[in-house]
């Protein structure tokens, strides 16, 4: 029987992960599920994902499945939030897993040791898709455990060890009032929301314990970026950069470089008239002060964009050819 008032809501968006969902759920049920609810949002799966998840729902009252039409991970997470009742929210991806003892550890942190926390940030282990979890994990190393300030927490979002991943953090539920994942984005949706949650929060703790297992998939979203994904990346980076520049200016330099690269990569996929639909990104690229943030390659590309557009187009075409050759070479290996 489900506890009357869950402390932690685990939200799992699920779409065509029949090869992974059992691993994910097995990792969760090996933990103490007292005061925990598991919300699975079936995002229109067309494989056997739901059938597999139903077996776990039948055995564990803490697990609930909700069905919706396929609309992407952002809408699935928002829907899961609307169905959840826990005081704390943990987003877990359906092709990943959590470590044994992680729920007990988290409950101890948020209930006993640091009851005023708003965000708990922790380490994770990476493992390759075709290798055994126990043998291929690499530690996302954190130097030590400590209470950190909001400014320091914002800085961790620019650190690749922590970044804006939603799954190596657990959030107090109240932070999501009037804040949601952007449902128009299929990529970098976490980049567009996590800094807003951090800005709203007050108390943070960084834990050097790895509690999450992140699967590196060969066909994951980070490969073969479409124009839509490049657009999402450019807009999310630009929005986050403008926010940091206005509120945490000393942290914005590194983000500025990533924004430049994202905007250039996106504009290479558009024609000149399409580019005009994004005046904020154009204005951003036209500011000479940002040239110092780039290496020689991107300096040339930004110069070409501003002064010699045909050269900019040529660079983009060369890049496209090189990507195709790289993919062909990878396919043969």
On whether both 233 and 143 belong to a single domain, the answer is no
On whether both 197 and 50 belong to a single domain, the answer is yes
What pLDDT was estimated at residue 138?
Answer: 58
Do the domain assignments include residue 184? yes
Do the domain assignments include residue 221? no
- CA–CA distances in Å: residue 19 to residues 25, 26, 42, 69, 117: 12, 13, 15, 21, 36
Do the domain assignments include residue 1? no
DSSP 151: H
On whether both 119 and 251 belong to a single domain, the answer is no
Q: Could you read off the pLDDT of 115-170 as tens digits, one per residue?
A: 899 999 999 998 887 666 665 555 566 667 899 999 999 999 998 888 999 999 99
Strands of 187-286 (E only): list them: 204-216
Span of 75-84, 284-293, 298-307 with lowest mean pLDDT: 284-293
On whether both 241 and 169 belong to a single domain, the answer is no
Q: Could you read off the pLDDT of 244-274 as tens digits, one per residue?
A: 999 999 999 889 989 999 999 999 999 999 9
Q: Which of 205, 62, 215 is nearest to 133 (CA)?
A: 215
On whether both 245 and 200 belong to a single domain, the answer is no
On whether both 256 and 118 belong to a single domain, the answer is no
On whether both 131 and 63 belong to a single domain, the answer is yes
Task: Report the alpha-carbon distance of residue 262 to residue 235 in Å, rounded.
Answer: 8
Task: Report the alpha-carbon distance of residue 136 to residue 129 in Å, rounded.
Answer: 9
Span of 22-31, 127-136, 210-219, 314-323 with lowest mean pLDDT: 127-136
Do the domain assignments include residue 222? no
On whether both 63 and 156 belong to a single domain, the answer is yes
On whether both 282 and 193 belong to a single domain, the answer is no
Is 323:230 a contact under the CB 8 Å cutoff? no
On whether both 34 and 180 belong to a single domain, the answer is yes
The residue segments making up the domain with residue 55 are 8-216
On whether both 282 and 242 belong to a single domain, the answer is yes
User: How many distinct structural domains can be found in the chain?
Assistant: 2
On whether both 209 and 247 belong to a single domain, the answer is no
Tokens for 73, please give them: 């991970």
Do the domain assignments include residue 14? yes
Do the domain assignments include residue 53? yes
Do the domain assignments include residue 114? yes
Do the domain assignments include residue 141? yes
Query: Whole-prediction pTM value?
Result: 0.90
- 3-class DSSP assignment, residue 184: coil
Task: Report the alpha-carbon distance of residue 33 to residue 29 in Å, rounded.
Answer: 7
What pLDDT was estimated at residue 320?
Answer: 80
């Amino acid at each position: 029987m489900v506890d009357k008032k869950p402390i932690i809501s685990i939200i799992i968006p699920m779409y065509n992960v029949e090869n992974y969902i059992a691993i994910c759920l097995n990792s969760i049920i090996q933990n103490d599920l007292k005061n925990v609810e598991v919300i699975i949002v079936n995002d229109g799966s067309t494989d056997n994902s739901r059938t597999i998840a139903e077996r776990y729902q039948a055995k564990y009252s803490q697990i609930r499945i909700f069905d919706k039409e396929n609309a992407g991970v952002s809408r699935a997470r928002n829907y899961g939030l609307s169905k959840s009742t826990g005081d704390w929210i943990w987003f877990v991806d359906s092709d990943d897993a959590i470590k044994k003892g992680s729920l007990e550890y988290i409950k101890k942190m948020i209930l006993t040791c640091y009851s005023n926390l708003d965000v708990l940030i922790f380490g994770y282990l990476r493992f390759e898709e075709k290798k055994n979890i126990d043998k291929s994990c690499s530690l996302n190393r954190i130097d030590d455990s400590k209470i950190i300030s909001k400014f320091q927490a914002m800085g961790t979002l620019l650190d690749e060890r922590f970044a804006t991943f939603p799954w190596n953090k657990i959030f107090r539920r109240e932070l999501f009032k009037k804040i949601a994942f952007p449902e128009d984005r299929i990529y970098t949706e976490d980049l567009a929301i996590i800094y807003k949650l951090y800005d709203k929060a007050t108390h943070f703790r960084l834990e050097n314990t790895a509690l999450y297992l992140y699967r590196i998939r060969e066909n994951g979203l980070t490969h073969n970026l479409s124009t839509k994904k490049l657009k999402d990346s450019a807009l999310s980076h630009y929005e986050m950069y403008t926010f940091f520049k206005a509120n945490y200016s000393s942290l914005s330099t590194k983000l500025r470089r990533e924004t430049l690269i994202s905007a250039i990569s996106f504009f290479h996929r558009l024609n000149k008239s399409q580019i005009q639909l994004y005046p904020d990104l154009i204005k951003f690229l036209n500011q000479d002060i940002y040239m110092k943030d780039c290496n020689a390659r991107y300096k040339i590309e930004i110069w070409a964009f501003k002064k010699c557009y045909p050269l900019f187009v040529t660079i983009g075409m060369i890049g496209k050819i090189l990507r195709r050759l790289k993919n062909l070479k990878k396919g043969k290996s």
